[in-house]
Amino acid sequence: MTNTVALQSNRLIRFESFEKYFGNRIFKNFLLFSYIGLFLAVIYIPFDYKTYGATSEFLYVLGGRLTAVFFAVMVIIAVAHPYFENRRIEAITTFGTMGFSAVALTYLLFGNPVHFVGYSWMFYLTATMMLAPLVTKKIYFIMESFQILFVLFVMAWVGKSAEEIVTYIFFALPLAGYVFAVVILSRRNGIEAYRNAFENNILMSLDGLSNLLNRRTWYEVSRRHWNDDKGISFIMLDIDHFKRVNDTYGHECGDRVIEAVSGILLEQTREQDIVGRLGGEEFGVILPQTDLNEAKIIAERVRQKIEETSISYNEETIRVTASIGIIENSEHIEDFNTLVTLGDKHLYNAKEQGRNRICY
């Protein structure tokens, strides 16, 4: 899409990371699936008791089952708890792999048929496919290689027949390959879907000429900040005699001026500031956690830079100035629109007093 590469570095676009984008769409359903996994881990305890309760092996079987229950609980915690926010997929796959290993070890040590292991593994692979857009090749190879090799090692250790081992290999490898193909395809499609969502967000959020937030997005983002942060200040800026520039040099030159002033606004404001083109030659800047004195410093820096900047167009050198209104939020300002209106009044005063100045 047009200008996508350039726009991706724009600090005004605060889009979810790939992991968070899909996490918000996957983990809600996966949490329900995790509860089902915990239920299945618990519900097998009476079955284990019926099978092994009268034997000396029961405590070992119960220990393996409770280990699986523990890791099923840890999977749920990894899905839901903020502690795992930046390492959620690694935690889920690690705890899930450990839980499967506990079940597999219990089944194989105490004489259950090998297909019981297969049933558990199918459940685990289903979980893997649900998480597929977030599962990397590295994660998949590590967890599946560990699972397959672990089961083979335990089967050999407990003396399973060669026929059972070969059956497991012929069952496990094609299934693991199939799931791998699903994971890779899902991740590839996920990356493409994320890229499209990101680009659509850019196209909907930014003004195409200035590369600043468009009016609608600026108001949405700024209003949210005003609701959460009452310590903001607001700058409204208007390019002086902009109509004269358009009438004298043409609209293409006017576009150059808009681009130059927009670049200065991005350059001279801070990472957290919200900068938008509100229409024509008018711009708005929300300054979070900024009092009037700090806002005046930022506004003066912007005003001076605009005044000092030369804009070249068709061998002509053009200079413009800007008028700026500033308002600091206070308890007397009841809504965001009032804040903007007061900033606009100060801008009007700056125009009335001769332009190329700041009023507050």
209 in any annotated domain = no
Domains of the chain: total: 2
- Cα–Cα–Cα angle for 127, 139, 119, nearest 5°? 35
Q: Which residues lie across from 275 on neighbouring strands?
A: 285
Contact yes or no for 96/127 (Cβ under 8 A): yes
Q: Are residues 351 and 220 both part of a single domain?
A: yes
210 in any annotated domain = no
Closest C-alpha among 108, 99, 104 to residue 71: 99
260 in any annotated domain = yes
Most distant pair of Cα atoms in the chain: their distance: 99
The total of other beta-carbon atoms located within 10 Å of residue 55's CB is: 11
Q: What domain range includes position 338?
A: 215-359
Burial annotation 60-97 (CB, 10 A radius, 16+ → b, else e): ebbebbebbbebbbbbbebbeeeebeeebbbbbbbbbb
Distance of CA 311 to the CA centre of its chain: 38
Q: Are residues 220 and 191 both part of a single domain?
A: no
The answer to whether the predicted template modeling score (pTM) of the entire model surpasses 0.75 is: no
344 in any annotated domain = yes
pLDDT per residue as tens digits for the range 88-139: 999 999 999 999 888 888 878 876 665 666 677 788 888 888 898 899 999 9
pLDDT per residue as tens digits for the range 59-80: 888 888 899 999 999 999 999 9
Q: Are residues 259 and 176 both part of a single domain?
A: no
Contact yes or no for 221/201 (Cβ under 8 A): no
Q: Are residues 241 and 185 both part of a single domain?
A: no
Contact yes or no for 53/70 (Cβ under 8 A): no
334 in any annotated domain = yes
Q: Are residues 194 and 250 both part of a single domain?
A: no
Domain boundary among 170, 203, 236: 203
Q: Are residues 282 and 348 both part of a single domain?
A: yes
Closest C-alpha among 122, 96, 85, 97 to residue 34: 96
SS3 content of the chain, % helix, strand, coil (to 5): 70, 10, 20
pLDDT per residue as tens digits for the range 179-235: 899 889 988 898 888 888 888 888 888 998 999 999 999 999 999 999 988 899 999
Output the six-digit token pair for 193: 């879907």
The one-letter amino acid code at 261 reads V
Give the CATH number, domain containing residue 301: 3.30.70.270
What letter does residue 313 receive in the DSSP assignment? E
208 in any annotated domain = no
Domain boundary among 203, 227, 245: 203
252 in any annotated domain = yes
Rg (CA), the chain: 31
Q: Which residues lie across from 284 on neighbouring strands?
A: 236, 276
351 — pLDDT class (breaks 50, 70, 90): very high
Percent of the chain at pLDDT above 90?
54
